[in-house]
Structure 1
Amino acid sequence: MFSLVKSLFVLAAATYVAAETHTIHFDNACGYGTPVVYQNFQKLASGDYTFNGPAYSVIAFLQTGNCGANGEGCTLLETTLINGGVSSTDVSLIPPHTFSVPTGFGYYNGCDGTGNNCNNANCAEAFHVTDDYGAQRQCTSDNVNLAITFCK
């Protein structure tokens, strides 16, 4: 009997973990460029993308034709979206990243209203050096999603 209960518990836990999802949605108001999502140096999408599980160490940017494969030379957004912990997102202008377009973000489906916007090269809302931690915005909601805006 104990092993049956244990098996059911493991199955229920596995089902719960498999149910984790996070969507990155783009709103490109620039009139040019292609929003892209990368993880582990691999391009996942040109446009919206849904992760079926945690989204660790994800970067996104507006590929204007002037950005390197990892967003070098452009405004970069970094995020980790996870259940059961702390999701964190920020805009980075740490070299080799530089301001290219106004970039903002906001969580939705949890932590609604939490986000940040960087509208110029000197914005205080972005990382300029590695310890600009005030630029990070965090969320502890499960299955939280992220909306990224360009040129707003």
Structure 2
Amino acid sequence: MFSFIRLAVLVVATATLATAETHTVTFTNLCGKGVPTLKANGVTLSTGGPYTSNGPLEAAIAYLDVGCGANGEGCTTVETTLVNPTSPGSGSSTDITLIPPHAFSVTTGFGYYNGCDGAGADCNNPSCPTAFFKPTDTGVQVACQTDNVDLVITFCD
């Protein structure tokens, strides 16, 4: 009986681990300059290496630091929330922002992978139509309704 209970606990623990939420953000910097930076709530999570969250990654920003302010001011910035959907429309959302004090600095793009493959956006000039210029430009957000989706952010592609 004791080994059956231990086995049942092991099965439940393994099932819990298998369904834990994770999201990875990776960078491709083709500019030959600058430092890819990922932040959330003012905390730097990555300066170029892959970052994996164990749980949702909410209200994160990413930019290529080429003389930007502490939160990407003066640079093209990617805003993202990566979260497993709990109801229709409640999953991940990512966008490119040029809302002042952000400004075009380098060509920047993003794309989801491990789910919603092919969904993303690119911004290659100061007037790119795929970026936020004012808070009401919500049509440029790119959503993904897949569990554990990952994101790649590319600079100077």
TM bucket normalised to smaller: 0.7 to 0.9
2:71 aligned partner? 70
Mapped partners of 2:18, 2:45: distance in 1:
22
User: Which blocks of at least 5 consecutive residues in structure 1 are unaligned?
Assistant: 1-7
Give 1:69 shift: 0.6
Tell whether 2:129 aligns with 1:124: yes
Equivalent position of 2:54 in the other structure: 52
Whole-angstrom distance in 2 between the partners of 1:58 and 1:17: 25
Code of the residue aligned with 1:36 in structure 2: it is: T
Matched to 2:73, the amino acid is E
| Cα-to-partner distance string for 1:17-60 (whole Å, 9 max, x where unaligned) | 97111000101010111101100011111012111110000000
CA contact (8 A) 1:17 1:53 kept: no
The one-letter amino acid paired with 2:25 is I
Partner Cα distance (2:106, 2:95) in 1: 15
Amino acid at match of 1:72: E
Kindly state the Cα deviation for residue 127 of structure 1 after the two structures are TM-superposed.
0.2
Which 10-residue stretch deviates more, 111-120 or 40-49? 40-49
The one of 133, 147, 152 equivalent to 2:152 is 147
AA aligned to 2:95 is D
* Paired position in structure 2 for 1:138: 143
* Aligned-partner Cα distance in 1 for 2:129–2:116: 22
The TM-score with structure 2 as length reference comes to 0.85
- State the structure with more CA Rg: 2
| Pairing 1:31–2:32 present | yes
Number of residues of Structure 1 aligned to a counterpart in Structure 2? 142
How much identity, in percent, do the aligned residues show? 57
Unaligned runs of 5+ in 2: 1-8
Shift of 1:16: 5.7
Structure 1 moving runs of 4+ over 4 Å: none
Q: CA deviation at 1:134?
A: 1.8
Aligned counterpart for 2:103 among listed residues 80, 98, 101: 98
TM-score (norm 1): 0.88
Q: Which amino acid aligns with 1:67?
A: C
Looking at structure 1, the residues matched to 109 and 18 of structure 2 have their Cα atoms a distance apart, in angstroms, of: 29
- 1:111 partner amino acid: C
Distance 1:17 1:134, change over 3 A: farther
Letter in 1 for 2:139: G
Partner of 1:4: none
